[in-house]
Amino acid sequence: MDILFLARLQFALTSVFHFFFVPLTLGLSIFTAILETAWVRTGNEKYLKLVQFWGRLFLINFAVGVVTGIVMEFQFGMNWSEYSRFVGDIFGVPLAIEALLAFFMESTFLGIWIFGRDRLPKAVHAASIWLVALGSNLSALWILVANSFMQAPVGFRMAADGSRAEMTDFAALLFNPNVWKQFPHVLAGGIVTGGFLVIAISVWHLMKGTKDREAFITSMKFGTIYAFIGTIFVTMAGHTQMQHIMKTQPMKVAAAEALWETENPASFSLFTIGNEEKLEDVFSIRIPRLLSFLAYNSFEGEVKGIRDLQAEYETKYGTGNYIPSIITAYWSFRLMVGAGTLMLFVSLLGLWKVSRDDYRFSPFIGALFFWSMLLPWIANSTGWILAEMGRQPWIVFGLLKTEQAVTPASVVSSGELILSITLFTLLYLMLAAADLFLIRKYAALGLEAAE
């Protein structure tokens, strides 16, 4: 089988699975730290029990996030050795710094937090979970510094022999506008993921009428505010990011919109079935002028279409196909935005309930709150699929194509790739099952969880 296809499948599988766990780690670490701070400040035992409850769920999730992250680091060398040679001078740096600055801090202080409750003063113990939260989120920042180089390369020159990109300006890499558009979006995505999980589990307990009603009301309040702030933040950050991508990777936006021809003013697609071969609509409902408004905050403005961009890229980079999979980009964008919109409604509804101190839920509203916890997962995964698939055929935009980046077949055969995909799939299915089993068990057990 085709090496390139298999290597991409492997990368998609491991990175999407890894990213099931990361946003929850980001969001729940901050949430646990907030609760522990509340405990230190008030001395109210209720907060301590909540810290232990949410902390346990955090740890179960964290374990899978960490171990799958190690695979990510090594797989660049394993499956993408030509990529590693080409960008090692640049891409490896944020990765190494991530480990040194963030990962060490996160892991060491997590050990201190788990084992240190009886050994350390309360405030030091609370500080250690804040350092875990800081470490996790810094980790995300450095990974996005690395990823942003792939999205919008800056601060480099090509080596004299053209064999690799060399760093010329570390500050430019760090202050790559793409980083500072993408990071708030990912950070807020984590907050939203944590917030909606907290709401779901709290509502479940309140509906079932388990004991610790008062504590889960507190969770619901904290969680709702947390989720609401996160949702507002994630929507705004997403909007800014899209306007930025419009400038740096117009093809990604055009594909996400199935916008075949350049339009001015440009319409927003509500629902399109297109023909990818002929680059035209089969059926489409569009809202006039809305895309221009989203792009430029004005109902006028040109948005380039796929055909024109393809022609433009062919002039610039030579003949070839510069169009990513439109169906993937289009539907992942719609799922992400759709999930985000639903989250906004649900968190507003939660805020309304909380503000009225109303913790009785009809079966429908209860189910709505509960299943809404899946929305951030849908949005997180589809968001990354859009970011990575929408950049194709480039692995580093404008510099290196994905097909040039893969490890040569003479080094890693398709047999080895199939073996590794099978192994990881089985392993990940097992981990997911064990993780889900434990999270359900401890979520349902409530505050007095025994072993």
Partner 1 sequence: MELQTLWFILVAVLFTGFFFLEGFDFGVGILLPFIGREDQERRALINTIGPFWDGNEVWLVTAGGAMFAAFPHWYATLFSGFYPALLLMLAAIIFRGVAFEFRSKHKHPAWRNFWDWSIFVGSAVPALLWGVALANIIRGVPIDASMNYAGGFLNLLNPYALACGIASLLIFTLHGAVFLTLKTNGEIRERSMRAAKSVWLPAVALSFVFMFYTYVETDLYLHLGINPGIIPVFSVLALLSVKVLLDKNASGWAFAMTGIAIAFSSATIFMGLYPRVLVSSLNPDWSLTIQNASSSPYTLGIMSMVALIFVPLVLLYQGWSYWVFRQRVTTDSHHEY
Q: Residue 120 or 279: which CB sits closer to partner 1? A: 120
Q: How many angstroms separate the CA atoms of 193 and 376, rounded? A: 5
Residue 185: CA count within 13 A, CB half-sphere:
24
Q: How many residues bind partner 1 (CB under 8 A)?
A: 74
Query: Does the protein bind partner 1 through residue 368 (CB under 8 A)?
Result: no
Query: Does the protein bind partner 1 through residue 67 (CB under 8 A)?
Result: yes
Judged by CB under 8 A, the residue of 4, 16, 59, 365 near partner 1 is 59
Q: Residue 48 or 337: which CB sits closer to partner 1? A: 48
Q: How far is the CB of 185 from partner 1 (least distance, A)?
A: 24
Q: How far is the CB of 37 from partner 1 (least distance, A)?
A: 21
Q: Residue 61 or 224: which CB sits closer to partner 1? A: 61
Paired strand residues for 394: 401
Dihedrals phi, psi of 271, to nearest 5 degrees: -160, 120
- Report which secondary-structure segment, H or E, holds 394: strand 394-396
Residues 6 or more apart in contact with residue 179 via CB below 8 angstroms: 141, 144, 145, 148
Q: Residue 48 or 112: which CB sits closer to partner 1? A: 112
Q: Residue 135 or 223: which CB sits closer to partner 1? A: 135
| Binding string, residues 95-134; x marks residues near partner 1 by CB under 8 A | xxxxxxx-xxx-xxxxxx-xxx-xxx--------------
Query: Does the protein bind partner 1 through residue 365 (CB under 8 A)?
Result: no
Query: Does the protein bind partner 1 through residue 60 (CB under 8 A)?
Result: yes
| Binding string, residues 387-416; x marks residues near partner 1 by CB under 8 A | --------------------xx-xxx---x
The neighbour count for residue 30, using CB atoms within 10 Å, is 24
Closest CA relative to residue 337, chosen from 297, 369, 378, 372: 378
Dihedrals phi, psi of 65, to nearest 5 degrees: -60, -45
Query: Does the protein bind partner 1 through residue 176 (CB under 8 A)?
Result: no
| Cβ atoms 329, 252 nearer than 8 A | yes
From the number of C-beta atoms within 10 Å of its C-beta (0-12, 13-18, 19+), residue 284 rates as middle
Stretch binding partner 1 (CB under 8 A), from 53-61, 229-237, 258-266, 345-353: 53-61
Q: How far is the CB of 13 from partner 1 (least distance, A)?
A: 14
Stretch binding partner 1 (CB under 8 A), from 275-283, 357-365, 374-382, 431-439: 431-439
According to CB under 8 A, which residues from 272 to 311 bind partner 1? Answer: none
Q: How far is the CB of 202 from partner 1 (least distance, A)?
A: 21
Closest CA relative to residue 186, chosen from 395, 25, 371, 389: 25
From the number of C-beta atoms within 10 Å of its C-beta (0-12, 13-18, 19+), residue 261 rates as middle
